[in-house]
C-alpha cells in the first residue's frame, strides 16, 4: 500500500484575524468575536478570539460575560459571517489547485489528501509551503499546517505549531511523535474520556499506548482497544470529499402547531420548491426523498422514498412528498415542523435513461423561466400557486 500524505490546514484565529486584517487599528489588540457582552451581562458565547485575547484565558465557546470579566478592555466585535465566508471560499479554491481530495471540517479548517498529486509540485512538504504562501498572498491571513501519514497526526501537528506554523511527521515516526503528548491531544478522545483515563493514572499518549487492551475494554467497552490503536498512531480514517454523502434539505416551523391541511399542504409545496431551487443551483439531483414531520410534543418522524430516476424538479419531489404525507397517520396530533430532504445526489448532467430527457423537457422549460424571473427580481417575485410565499 503506498504511503499516504495527509495535510491538515487550520486558519489562525480565523474570524479575529479577518477583523484585524480589515481594520489595522485592531492589530496587536485583544479582539473577541461574538455576541454583545452588554457590560458582562450578555448571554452569548465567544466565536473566536485573537491570540492577544487568549493571553487573558479567553477561548472559543466561553460565555461572553466571562470573556468581558477577564478582559473588559478588549475589542468585542459582532461576527460578519459573509466576510468570513468570502475568505473561506478563496482558501478552498487554493486547496483545489493542489488536490481534489479535500474534506472541509469547518469554515476555517480542512484535511487534504495529496498522495496522488504532490509530485506535480515537488515534495509533500513543498505542497504545504506553497499552500501557506498562497493563502498569505491571496487573503492576507496565516494558516498552521500539519503533514503526516494519517489525519490524527496531521491535525495534532498543525495544532502544535500555531500560529503560522508547519510541522511534518514522517511515516515510521508517528508513535514516537505522539508518546510524550497529553492524552487530550488525541483526535476523537473527548474530555470525559480523558478525565477517566487521568483518574487511572494515564496522562500521556505513551501511557495509553502501553495499556493492556483487556484493561481498556473493561473500562470503556469495545471503544477501549480503539483508543489504544489511536495512541499507537494507527488511524485509517479516510479523507472524505465534500461532494460525497451530501443532501439538500429545508425545514419550516409553524408559528403555532397546526392541524389545518391547507396550511400543511402549502408548506410542503413551498419546501419542495425551495429544495428544488437549491439542487439546481448546485447542479445536482437526487433519488431519495425524505419527509420530516414533528408533531406537538416534539415527537419527530421521518418517511423516505426512492424514485426511479434522480431529480431536481419541484413537481417530482412534491409528488413523492405528498404520497409520504398521505400515508402518515397523525392520530389527531397537530404538526409543529415539516422538512423535505433530497439525498443520493449526482451531477445533474448525468442521464440515467434514454427517455429521461424527453420526460423532463416540460419541467426544464418551466424551471428555467421561474429561475430567470427570480434572478432578476428576487425569490419572492414568483411562487407556486398553493404554496407558501415566505418559506
Strands 46-49 and 75-77: unpaired
> What is the C-alpha end-to-end distance of the chain, expressed in Å?
50
109 catalytic per annotation: yes
Per-residue confidence (pLDDT) for residue 375, from 0 to 100: 54
**Closest to 318 in 3D by CA, of 277, 365, 353, 359:** 277
The whole-angstrom distance between residue 179's C-alpha and the CA centroid of its chain comes to: 30
Pinpoint the alpha helices (H) of 112-173: 124-139, 151-160
Per-residue confidence (pLDDT) for residue 358, from 0 to 100: 46
What is the CATH architecture of 14-81?
A: 3-Layer(aba) Sandwich (3.40)
Per-residue confidence (pLDDT) for residue 240, from 0 to 100: 77
DSSP character at residue 184: G
Whole-angstrom Cα distance, residue 295 to residue 260? 13
Whole-angstrom Cα distance, residue 232 to residue 222? 17
- pLDDT tens digits for 198-209? 999 999 999 999
Strand order in the sheet with 299-311: 247-258, 335-347, 284-295, 299-311
**Closest to 253 in 3D by CA, of 244, 243, 242, 264:** 264
pTM: 0.64
For the chain, which residues make up each domain, given as ranges? Answer: 14-81, 175-231, 247-381
Q: Is-contact 266 386, C-beta < 8 A?
A: yes
- pLDDT tens digits for 104-128? 888 899 999 999 999 999 999 999 9
DSSP character at residue 204: B
Whole-angstrom Cα distance, residue 370 to residue 387? 14
The parts of the chain modelled with pLDDT lower than 50 are: 243-245, 353-359, 374, 376-379, 381-382, 386-387
DSSP, collapsed to helix, strand or coil, labels residue 100 as: coil
**At 144, phi and psi to the nearest 5?**
-105, 135
CATH superfamily of 175-231: 5' to 3' exonuclease, C-terminal subdomain (1.10.150.20)
**Closest to 338 in 3D by CA, of 260, 265, 276:** 265
Q: Which one is catalytic: 19, 52, 103, 109? A: 109
Report the mean per-residue pLDDT for the chain: 87
**Closest to 15 in 3D by CA, of 63, 47, 54:** 47
247-381 in CATH: which number?
A: 3.30.1490.100
Task: Tell the residue number behind the cell numbers 405528498, with chain if given.
Answer: 322
Instruction: State the cell numbers at 148.
Output: 503526516
What is the CB-side half-sphere exposure of residue 102 using CA atoms within 13 A?
A: 18
Q: What is the dihedral sign for C-alpha 368, 373, 374, 380?
A: negative
What is the CB-side half-sphere exposure of residue 173 using CA atoms within 13 A?
A: 9
Amino acid at each position: 500500500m503506498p504511503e499516504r500524505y495527509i495535510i491538515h490546514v487550520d486558519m489562525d484565529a480565523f474570524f479575529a484575524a479577518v477583523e484585524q486584517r480589515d481594520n489595522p487599528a485592531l492589530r496587536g489588540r485583544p479582539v473577541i468575536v461574538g455576541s454583545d457582552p452588554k457590560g458582562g451581562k450578555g448571554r452569548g458565547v465567544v466565536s473566536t478570539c485573537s491570540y492577544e485575547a487568549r493571553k487573558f484565558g479567553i477561548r472559543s465557546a466561553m460565555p461572553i460575560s466571562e470573556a468581558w470579566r477577564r478582559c473588559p478592555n478588549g475589542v468585542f466585535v459582532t461576527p460578519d459571517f459573509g466576510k468570513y465566508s468570502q475568505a473561506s471560499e478563496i482558501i478552498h479554491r487554493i486547496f483545489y489547485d493542489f488536490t481534489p481530495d479535500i474534506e472541509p471540517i469547518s469554515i476555517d479548517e480542512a484535511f487534504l489528501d495529496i498522495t496522488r498529486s504532490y509530485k506535480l509540485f515537488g515534495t509533500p512538504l513543498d505542497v504545504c509551503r506553497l499552500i501557506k504562501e498562497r493563502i498569505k498572498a491571496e487573503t492576507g491571513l496565516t494558516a498552521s499546517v500539519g503533514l503526516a501519514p494519517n489525519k490524527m497526526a496531521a491535525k495534532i501537528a498543525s495544532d502544535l505549531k500555531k500560529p503560522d506554523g508547519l510541522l511534518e511527521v514522517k511515516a515510521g515516526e508517528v508513535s514516537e511523535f505522539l508518546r510524550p503528548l497529553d492524552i487530550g491531544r488525541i483526535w476523537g478522545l473527548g474530555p470525559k474520556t480523558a478525565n477517566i483515563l487521568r483518574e487511572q493514572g494515564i496522562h500521556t499518549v505513551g501511557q495509553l499506548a502501553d495499556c493492556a487492551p483487556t484493561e481498556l475494554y473493561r473500562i470503556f467497552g469495545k471503544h477501549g482497544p480503539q483508543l489504544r490503536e489511536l495512541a499507537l498512531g494507527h488511524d485509517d480514517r479516510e479523507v472524505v470529499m465534500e461532494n460525497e454523502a451530501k443532501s439538500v434539505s429545508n425545514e419550516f416551523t409553524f408559528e403555532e402547531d397546526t392541524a389545518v391541511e391547507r396550511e400543511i399542504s402549502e408548506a410542503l409545496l413551498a419546501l419542495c420548491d425551495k429544495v428544488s431551487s437549491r439542487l439546481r443551483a448546485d447542479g445536482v439531483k437526487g433519488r431519495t426523498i425524505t419527509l420530516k414531520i414533528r408533531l406537538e410534543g416534539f415527537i419527530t418522524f421521518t418517511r423516505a422514498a426512492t424514485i426511479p430516476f434522480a431529480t431536481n424538479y419541484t413537481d417530482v419531489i412534491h409528488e413523492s412528498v405528498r404520497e409520504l404525507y398521505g400515508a402518515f397517520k397523525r392520530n389527531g396530533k397537530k404538526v409543529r415542523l415539516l422538512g423535505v430532504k433530497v439525498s443520493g445526489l449526482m451531477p445533474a448532467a448525468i442521464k440515467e435513461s434514454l427517455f429521461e430527457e424527453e420526460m423532463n423537457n416540460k419541467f426544464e422549460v418551466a424551471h428555467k423561466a421561474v429561475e430567470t424571473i427570480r434572478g432578476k427580481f428576487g425569490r419572492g417575485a414568483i411562487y407556486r400557486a398553493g404554496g407558501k410565499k415566505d418559506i
